[in-house]
Amino acid sequence: MKIKIRTILRFAAQSSLLPLVACSGTINNQTEEMPNVIFILADDLGYGDVSCMGQSKFRTPNIDRLGSEGICFTSHYAGSTVCAPSRSCLMTGQTTGHTPIRGNKGIQPEGQIPIPDSTLTVAEIFKANGYVTGAFGKWGLGGPATEGDPNRQGFDEFYGYNCQTLAHNYYTAYLWHNQEKVYLDGNKNGGTVQYSHDLIQEQALKFIEKNKDKPFFLYLPYTIPHAELIAPDDSIFERFKGKFPETPYVGVDSGPRYRKGGYCSQKYPRATFAAMVTRLDYSVEQVIDKLKELGLDNNTLVIFSSDNGPHLEGGADPDFFDSNGPLRGYKRDLYEGGIREPMLVRWPGKIQPGTRTDFVSAFWDFLPTICDILHVNVPKNCDGISMLPTLLGHPEQQKQHDYLYWEFHENIDKQAIRQGKWKAVRFGVNGPIELYDLNADLSETHDIAADHPEIIEKMKQLFTEAHTESAIWPMEVGQQ
């Protein structure tokens, strides 16, 4: 822990002694009240899974409302195309070419490869500036009591799943509350009494209530609608039962993987998916209602997005729901459908309602945006840029990315770059590079690499430049 404490103290000193130079993009002077910040992260929700981005088979009015009362980003990207590295990018402000967690590797007996103790997270930046911090949902960045444990990465309170694999199942045997394993007796022997999402939501609302008189950062990495398709048999589910043609899914209902990562059978997979996203939408409504009830609404920045594109497991049918909208690809792809996500941001009195922007942004921009809001310096190893000018309606002051970069380490190494209108995708270290013009071909259906050899050569250089080697996730680049 000594390295971690030095890191936090170093940043705290930097924050107090070296404030950012104010510009018209900043929110206020440092004597004014700092806003609460809530980041709601859906799990495997696709670009087209919310109705304001085109979903027509069900509605998400409360998620949509974040955009209608704030701003909708139409060219926003997740950190990666799977859970753990995407969240690592969000927490560290780094791309997958630099962030310490670049894949979903698990550790025994529970959890994933931990973020190193020396890593500076956005939660620690909040804490260094007087915020109470809480995370409720799925962590996936370090097993219990490891250096990556959320309590050791800047969060005062954590409730939910530490391990991504166990988070596949909603009627789980237990959840974690900080260092305590909370057993759910109602789920013993196949019971379906305690639905994990509802328990997580209950604790998150309590966090808001408990900290209403303090500035807080609330991270809500919900598990819905990831993996296992199952929902309580209530009025939400009844609304969709029988509405869609169904092909029952046969999953894992016994044996060693039962409720330990295996997906349950589901007679109504499409109805269940719609019910789960609707439940997610209601949860967003509950958060906003709680803020209003406590008089916190006007001083709270709420952000909604998803960690990667729609999944195909457990009976999910993203093609039926057009979950990736006009985009090609799903989870585990570096095509747009695997990484481009809706981002809706609401901040009453600060963001002009009903705004839409095509500003190209990514998860690693969250940390520097928070630094801008808090008037503190951005860590030197950050890959992001502040989105605050765009949020506050000053696009003329908005710095632009030279390019965005992703890498992925499952099955075959993949890399992708977006630079302006150009999107390059490479499969394998020495594989050919595909090239797409996103302005003319958003669906990435026409590979025009052969027509632009000069762009391909530039992309080769950027693939090398954007990557630093990792012993855990090696990728030999630049050897073509």
CATH code for the domain in which residue 214 is found? 3.40.720.10
Low-confidence ranges of the chain (pLDDT < 50): 1-3, 6, 10, 13-31, 478-480
pLDDT at site 11 = 58
Same domain, 457 and 386: no
β-bridge partners, 415: 407, 426
What whole-number distance in Å separates Cα of residue 417 and Cα of residue 423?
Answer: 6
pLDDT at site 227 = 86
How many domains does the structure of the chain reveal?
2
pLDDT at site 141 = 98
E strand or H helix that includes residue 199: helix 196-210
Same domain, 212 and 167: yes
Picking from 362, 378, 403, the residue at the C-terminal end of a domain is 403
E strand or H helix that includes residue 204: helix 196-210
pLDDT at site 475 = 83
E strand or H helix that includes residue 424: strand 422-427
pLDDT at site 185 = 98
Same domain, 65 and 158: yes
Same domain, 98 and 114: yes
Residue 62 lies in a domain: yes
Classify 209 in phi/psi space as left (phi over 0), alpha (psi -120 to 50) or beta: alpha
What whole-number distance in Å separates Cα of residue 437 and Cα of residue 446?
Answer: 8
Same domain, 64 and 104: yes
Residue 93: phi and psi, rounded to 5, are 70, 25
What whole-number distance in Å separates Cα of residue 165 and Cα of residue 111?
Answer: 8
Quick one: three-class SS letters along 311-365? Answer: CCCCCCCHHHHCCCCCCCCCCCCCCHHHHEEEEEEECCCCCCCCEEECCCEEHHH
What whole-number distance in Å separates Cα of residue 21 and Cα of residue 409?
Answer: 39
CB 206 within 8 A of CB 301: no
Residue 314 lies in a domain: yes
Picking from 383, 403, 423, the residue at the C-terminal end of a domain is 403
pTM of the complete model: 0.95
E strand or H helix that includes residue 371: helix 366-374
CB 152 within 8 A of CB 237: no
Positive or negative: CA dihedral 42, 44, 46, 51: negative
Strands 71-77 and 355-357: parallel
Strands 36-42 and 404-408: unpaired
pLDDT in tens, 177-215: 999 999 999 999 999 999 999 999 999 999 999 999 999
Positive or negative: CA dihedral 388, 392, 396, 400: positive
Q: Is 134 helix (H, G, I), strand (E, B) or coil?
A: strand
pLDDT at site 5 = 58
Q: Which domain holds residue 92?
A: 35-403
Same domain, 379 and 451: no
